[in-house]
A = this chain, B = another copy of it.
């Protein structure tokens, strides 16, 4: 069973039955952003989580399907600048404000980085009279550089 095909089928089932990522998150017991990442093939589900996700989408959740989703995912392939406008805006923020973010982190925490592995992401809708706003929050462990 190909993971790529299974993902395609699951997305089609989600679309057809109008199940939201929040619904899937409730079934799996995880955050909707993480569940979206897992469903799109960029995070690794446990067998229990895989089973819950498959059932919520109306799949049999047999051993093969569960095995397929609980393998380590292959994240990315070749680094490229995204052209899709939602993703590009996230890239542009790094390009324009990245040096400021780096300067403030290093002043606040010292020499180190925010982990992209021990990381949680949250997305919220903020109502606003001049137009609602998207709030994206990254929450990652600070990792200091080691001297040895």
Contact = CB atoms under 8 A, between A and B. Distances in A.
A84 B103 contact: no
Contacts of A81: 78-81
Contacts of A75: 83-85, 95-96
Contact of A101 (B20, B33, B108, B146): B33
Contacts of A89: 113-116, 140
Interface in A74-114: 74-114
Contacts of A120: 146, 148
A130 to B, nearest CB: 8
A120 B120 CA distance: 20
Contacts of A49: 147
Interface in A29-51: 30-34, 36-37, 39-40, 42-44, 46, 49
30 contacts: A16-B67, A21-B107, A33-B100, A36-B100, A36-B104, A42-B100, A75-B83, A75-B96, A76-B85, A76-B92, A78-B80, A78-B82, A82-B98, A85-B92, A85-B113, A86-B105, A86-B114, A87-B99, A88-B88, A90-B114, A90-B116, A93-B121, A113-B117, A117-B143, A117-B146, A119-B146, A120-B146, A121-B148, A126-B139, A133-B142
Given A44-B111, A105-B123, 16 more contacts: A34-B100, A40-B103, A75-B95, A76-B95, A78-B83, A82-B94, A85-B113, A89-B113, A89-B116, A108-B125, A109-B134, A112-B117, A118-B144, A121-B148, A128-B141, A134-B141
